């Protein structure tokens, strides 16, 4: 029977205006460490630092909260970067030898980064009509001279060209070729091999007319630009790697490919100089690797610093990544776990100062940034207030906790400070302090929790632009592993020479993959936490301000319930340590629940008010009373044919035959369904004609829905528990409400249990003798057996229930327990609202049928209006497998807006997405970076900052013609505008008012009448590594289907989405 639905023609203008006041999509800031860094620069006057990457991204950092981001049009590697001191301008060199000039531009009081000019030098002999000039070939080194107005470009052919920086044009008649240099060289040195590429260019601090040129062959020349002659020549014979000119200009130091460095005196003896005053191989006498860069910094005490990278003995330590710091007789070999990209010292650069007096050493590595305090004895590392390596161990899951109480925040910060002797903020000694952060201090605090492969959970301050590390929780100490034995052996094998010192926190290797954290949940009101891992371990922890020694109670829960025919083929369970164990201040374990079989935990939820924790794996789910230390419930969800669930994620016996069999089944099924569609085409056309004749013209027909085939009940991994949820609602009858637990599985089943939770004694955390009881109240089976992603109960006003303790402590409006409750069940294919306690369908929206996509993440979020401070709506935010974000009203499930957020090919980015309770979200754009985005027009976290820059000439600013930067891809290919923090992703949004440059209003001022979802944290705690078979299917889908989906999405954008009631 054809369904008809009447709808008012056209959109409601009032509602459309309200949408603009509630919703707006922006990608705001990238948290973490830049992926694949390739270049480093530092402006000593403005105290800002720039990092370039292999994907062409440019990131400038100053004080915490001061960040600028840009992206070159060509995705080429940034090889060199140079600041024009004090001007807020940056010259970048790419590996295609193109030069780009960036500038920090202020607009409405805030600054952002723009590319002002770019230049591609000619690569053929001669340019601009000139002849006889050597080929510019590839630029190897860049030097800024004359206050940044002029740049010297060293090339692979041995020539030095000069560039006018304000216009980025090459200057004719000033090119210095290798032949001109060779005229000043003795005949015996001139014969033989060529000078080679220009390896180094250095300027004199006090005399800008002099340039030190170092050639690959080893020749060093002090060239006088004004007189166009060589002042001094140093005849080195060892292949040159780097040169540094001492501050006074009287000393040079050169490093070489054989691991040696040499010191040359510029004011002693005749030119040319053939022998250095000092030549040494610091880690000799055996063959050593090249010293790729060397710095000389003098001090008033006479004990100068020599800092160099490389030079390790080739046979013994050739694989080490080291930077050595030498001062007088003190030598420290800084041993890093990733490759050294570049380094610089923070020192005095004023010409009137006689000494450098270095304050800090900053080393950019491939996976982290390390800063050492050179003024403190022992040269300790300075904790970074940002740019911390999120992936120090691979991220496996993440969660966001909003509106953290001030007391809990202070306790977490205190625990973190006790872990690190230095102040956690590092503000006093952090040397990169340029710019001013104009954003207001957030009135509420947000925590980002990341679980890692090594069993740690890291707490990050996600309240503002700078993602600051607060505290690290380690669960490995509770279990017996071989890491301590391996560490002791490694320490014993170390010799006293070279004097290695381990620096940095990047450690990608896990001693035991079973330690990996899969799920985390935190109760912000009781400071209790649940951490679940890869080997079925579920750990209940509580925050303590003092260290303690205590034993941890262990309980086992058999989820198979003695079911026959199933044999676990995966990894063994972790063995817990016995007896009292020392625990530092912070989160300390109270109970350990071991799931059997020890499969990875796929879902977890905590209800601190009831003292219960629920957990699920691929075999079933369980309920544990952690106050009584006793299991309450265990339910097996395995299908009789679900043998793949018994192999485990770490098993090496994955069935190739089974995967091939399933592939052939899909091919066969698609062929059969294709034939059926061909035979049914004629009948569909006839039905369409009849509908046109019979239906009135003012009636809109329900749009054509895609055909969704029901999933087979014997599909592999059908018993995986996808979500768990606690709620105080009506389950048995409409007159009595009470505690309930809901569980959703991969096969579309939802189990609802009524719980009997005895009240705890007053002022006591102990449970009465009577145990918690669980009775199965309802069981729902979705028609198409689509995996259940989330479950949430709505009160009589259609609002989500508050979190535990929120209502009892008057922290949120109490739920309406008078009207009828409803339960929202979100599956991968549709959203459906059922009435309670009858569980009858009330409203639904078939997302897959309409949009051709599947749900991957959902969360209930509160969206506050930018026009009215007291108005807010609670909506359902959804991320699909195509990377789109949809927002639906609750409980009517009417589509509001949808945006393209993540590339559909970025499977790990989609799997890692986390929504917040106030309309923001995070997802990984690389192993080390979170992209932050906002769906709310009001709640936006973005860089708002300025720089105090000085332009040398007023006319120079007008000479620029900034080119309008196109909407390019970000570093990972996600569409977006990349000029700076104020450039937005996607098309310009007319909803942003003139006040968008002001900081966002604090989340604490949201309307108290809108109650946030109690499941917002639980429904988004999916692991980064949860790349399912469905994800891969989406990625490997046919191009024809992808194009069809895109067409459908564009069509849906042009028309109002229908609401299906039934």
Q: Tokens at residue 69, please? A: 């981001």
3-state secondary structure string, 402-449? EEECHHHHHHHHHHHHHHCCCCCCCCCCCCCCCCEECCCCCCCEEEEE
Closest among 197, 168, 507 to 335, alpha carbons compared: 507
- On the 0-12 / 13-18 / 19+ scale of CB atoms within 10 A, 215 is buried
* pLDDT score recorded for residue 1039: 43
286 vs 292: CA distance, rounded Å = 18
**Spatial contact of 153 and 98, defined as CB atoms under 8 Å apart:** no
Distance CA 180, CA 191 (A): 15
Give φ, ψ of 847 to 5 degrees. Answer: -65, -45
Instruction: Give the strand pairing for 500-502 and 330-336.
Output: parallel
Number of CB atoms found within 10 A of residue 326's CB = 17
Nearest 5 degrees, angle CA 91-CA 97-CA 103?
Answer: 20
| CB-CB neighbours of 115 under 10 Å | 21
Residue 621 CA to its chain's centroid (Å):
31
Q: Which of 877, 888, 867, 885 is nearest to 1001 (CA)?
A: 867
The pLDDT of residue 645 = 64
Q: Tell me: the pLDDT tens digits for 742-785?
A: 999 999 999 999 999 987 643 456 666 788 999 999 999 998 89
- Give the model's pLDDT for residue 642: 67
Cis peptide before 272 (omega within 30 of 0): yes
pLDDT the model gives residue 818: 81
- In the chain, how long is the greatest CA-to-CA distance? 107
- pLDDT the model gives residue 1000: 36
DSSP state of 167: T
**Residue range 78-136, pLDDT digits in tens:** 999 999 999 999 999 999 999 999 999 998 888 999 999 999 877 654 444 343 444 46
pLDDT for the residue 186: 86
Percentage helix, strand, coil, to 5, in the chain?
A: 15, 40, 50
- 811 within 8 A of 860, measured Cβ to Cβ: no
Region label for 205, one of left (φ > 0), alpha (ψ between -120 and 50) or beta (otherwise): alpha
The Cα–Cα gap between 634 and 771 comes to: 15
Rounded Cα–Cα distance for residues 663 and 667 (Å): 6
Length of the chain, in residues: 1062
> Rounded to whole angstroms, how far apart are CA atoms 61 and 57?
13
Q: What is the dihedral of CA 839, 840, 842, 846, to 10 degrees?
A: 90
362 close to 371: Cβ distance less than 8 angstroms = yes
Residue numbers of the chain with a pLDDT score lower than 50: 1-7, 125-135, 423-427, 485-486, 488-490, 492-493, 651-655, 676-703, 761-763, 953-1026, 1029, 1032, 1035-1062
Whole-angstrom distance, CA of residue 950 vs CA of residue 103: 12
**Which tokens in the block code for residue 371?**
């800063």
> According to the model, what pLDDT value does residue 353 have?
86
């Amino acid at each position: 029977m054809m369904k008809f639905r009447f709808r008012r023609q056209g959109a409601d203008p009032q509602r459309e205006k309200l949408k603009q006041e509630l919703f707006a999509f922006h990608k705001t800031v990238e948290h973490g460490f830049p992926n694949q860094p390739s270049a480093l620069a530092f402006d000593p006057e403005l105290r800002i630092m720039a990092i370039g990457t292999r994907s062409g991204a440019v990131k400038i950092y100053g004080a915490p909260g001061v960040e600028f981001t840009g992206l070159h049009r060509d995705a080429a590697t940034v090889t060199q970067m140079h600041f024009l001191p004090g001007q807020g301008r940056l010259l970048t060199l790419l590996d295609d030898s193109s030069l780009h000039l960036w500038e920090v531009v202020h607009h409405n009081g805030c600054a952002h980064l723009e590319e002002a000019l770019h230049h591609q030098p000619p690569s053929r002999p001669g340019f601009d009509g000139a002849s006889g000039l050597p080929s510019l070939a590839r630029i190897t080194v860049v030097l800024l001279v004359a206050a940044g107005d002029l740049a010297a470009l060293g090339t692979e052919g041995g020539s030095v060209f000069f560039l006018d920086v304000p216009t980025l044009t090459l200057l004719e008649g000033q090119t210095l070729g290798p032949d001109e240099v060779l005229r000043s060289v003795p005949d015996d040195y001139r014969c033989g091999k060529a000078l080679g590429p220009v390896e180094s260019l250095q300027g004199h601090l006090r005399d800008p007319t002099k340039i030190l040129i170092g050639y690959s062959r080893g020749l060093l020349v002090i060239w006088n630009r004004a007189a166009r002659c060589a002042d001094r020549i140093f005849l080195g014979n060892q292949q040159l790697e780097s040169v540094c000119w001492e501050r006074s200009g009287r000393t040079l130091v050169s490093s070489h490919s054989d691991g040696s460095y040499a010191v040359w005196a510029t004011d002693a003896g005749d030119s040319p100089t053939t022998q250095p005053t000092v030549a040494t191989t610091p880690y000799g006498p055996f063959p050593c690797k090249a010293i790729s860069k060397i710095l000389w910094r003098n001090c008033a005490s006479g004990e100068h610093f020599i800092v160099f990278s490389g030079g390790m003995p080739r046979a013994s330590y050739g694989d080490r990544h080291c930077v050595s710091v030498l001062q007088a007789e003190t030598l420290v070999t800084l041993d890093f776990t990733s490759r050294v990209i570049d380094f610089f010292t923070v020192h005095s650069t004023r010409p009137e100062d006689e000494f450098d007096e270095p304050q800090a050493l900053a080393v950019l590595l491939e996976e982290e940034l390390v800063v050492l305090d050179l003024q403190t004895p022992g040269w300790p590392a300075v904790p970074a207030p940002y740019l911390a390596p999120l992936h120090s161990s691979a991220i496996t899951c993440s969660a966001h906790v909003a509106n953290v109480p001030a007391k809990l925040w202070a306790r977490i910060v205190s625990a973190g400070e006790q872990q690190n002797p230095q102040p956690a903020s590092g503000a006093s000694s952090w040397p990169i302090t340029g710019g001013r952060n104009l954003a207001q201090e957030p009135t509420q605090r947000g925590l980002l929790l990341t679980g890692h492969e090594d069993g740690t959970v890291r707490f990050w301050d996600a309240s503002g632009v700078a993602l600051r590390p607060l505290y690290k929780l380690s669960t490995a100490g509770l279990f017996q592993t071989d890491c301590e034995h391996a560490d002791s052996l490694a320490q014993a094998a170390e010799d006293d020479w070279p004097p290695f010192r381990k620096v940095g926190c990047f450690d990608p290797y896990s001693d035991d993959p079973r330690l990996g954290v899969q799920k985390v949940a935190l109760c912000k009101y009781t400071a209790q936490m649940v951490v679940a891992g890869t080997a079925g371990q579920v750990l209940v922890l509580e925050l303590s301000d003092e260290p303690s020694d205590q034993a941890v109670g262990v309980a086992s829960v058999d989820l198979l319930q003695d079911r026959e025919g199933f044999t676990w083929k995966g990894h063994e369970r972790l063995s817990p340590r016995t007896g009292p164990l020392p625990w530092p201040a912070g989160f300390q374990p109270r109970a350990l629940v071991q799931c059997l079989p020890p499969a990875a935990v796929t879902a977890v939820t905590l209800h601190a008010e009831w003292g219960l924790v629920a957990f699920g794996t691929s075999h079933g789910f369980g309920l544990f009373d952690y106050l009584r230390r006793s299991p309450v419930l265990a339910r097996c969800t395995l299908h009789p044919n679900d043998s793949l669930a018994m192999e485990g994620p770490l098993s090496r016996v994955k069935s190739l035959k089974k995967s091939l069999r399933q592939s052939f089944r899909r091919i066969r099924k698609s062929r059969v369904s294709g034939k059926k569609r061909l035979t049914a085409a004629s009948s569909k056309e006839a039905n369409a004609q009849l509908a046109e004749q019979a239906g009135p013209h003012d009636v809109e027909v329900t749009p054509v829905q895609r055909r969704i085939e029901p999933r087979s009940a014997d599909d592999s991994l059908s018993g995986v528990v996808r979500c768990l949820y606690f709620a105080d609602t009506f389950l048995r009858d409409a007159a009595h409400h009470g505690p309930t637990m809901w569980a959703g599985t991969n096969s579309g089943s939802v189990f609802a249990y009524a719980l009997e939770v005895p009240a705890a004694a007053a002022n006591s955390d102990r449970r009465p003798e009577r145990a918690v009881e669980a009775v199965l109240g309802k069981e729902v089976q979705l028609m198409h057996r689509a995996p259940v992603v989330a479950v949430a109960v709505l009160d009589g006003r259609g609002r989500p229930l508050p979190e535990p303790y929120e209502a009892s402590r008057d922290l949120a409006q109490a739920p309406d327990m008078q009207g009828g409750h409803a339960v929202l069940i979100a599956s991968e294919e549709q959203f459906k609202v059922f009435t309670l306690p009858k569980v009858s369908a009330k409203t639904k929206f078939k997302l897959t049928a309409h949009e051709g996509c599947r749900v991957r993440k959902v969360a209930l979020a509160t969206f506050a209006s930018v026009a009215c401070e007291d108005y807010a709506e609670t909506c359902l935010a959804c991320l699909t497998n195509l990377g789109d974000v949809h927002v639906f009203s609750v409980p009517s499930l009417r589509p509001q807006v949808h945006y393209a957020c993540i590339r559909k090919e970025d499977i790990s980015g989609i799997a890692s997405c986390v929504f917040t309770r106030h309309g923001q979200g995070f997802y990984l754009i690389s192993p080390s970076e979170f992209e932050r985005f906002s769906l709310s027009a009001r709640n936006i976290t973005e860089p708002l900052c300025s720089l105090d820059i000085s332009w040398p000439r007023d006319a120079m600013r007008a000479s620029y013609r900034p080119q309008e930067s196109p909407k390019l891809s970000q570093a990972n290919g996600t569409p977006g505008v990349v000029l700076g923090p104020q450039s937005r992703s996607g098309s310009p949004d007319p909803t942003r008012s003139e006040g968008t440059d002001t900081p966002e209003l604090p989340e604490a001022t949201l309307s108290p009448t809108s109650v946030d979802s109690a499941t917002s944290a639980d429904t988004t705690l999916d692991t980064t590594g949860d790349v399912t078979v469905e994800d891969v299917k989406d990625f490997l889908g046919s191009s024809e289907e992808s194009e069809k989906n895109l067409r459908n999405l564009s069509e849906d954008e042009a028309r109002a989405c229908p609401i299906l009631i039934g």
